[in-house]
Amino acid sequence: MELERFLVSLGNVVLWSAVAIIIAVIVVLVLDRAFKLREEIFGENSIGAAIFAGSFILGIFYTVTQIVIH
């Protein structure tokens, strides 16, 4: 009984982690296309662009976490 519950929980963690990573990758690709973030971050060493991109990533992971918890 406990092993079954553990495996179901592990499956949920893997599933929702994959969902969050896929959404984060899509958002980064869209932001990179719209704002040329990679060029800004690495080419011009823009701290503001890095904070902008990082805040989006953290927001996505936080949102997915809240969905899973509730």
Instruction: Say if residues 31 and 53 touch (Cβ distance below 8 Å).
Output: yes
- Answer whether residue 69 shows pLDDT above 90: no
34-37: Cβ within 8 A, 24+ apart: none
- DSSP at 36: -
pTM of the model: 0.80
- pLDDT at residue 1 in the model: 87
Q: Give residue-wise pLDDT tens across range 3-36.
A: 999 999 999 999 999 999 999 999 889 989 998 9
At residue 9, the pLDDT reads 93
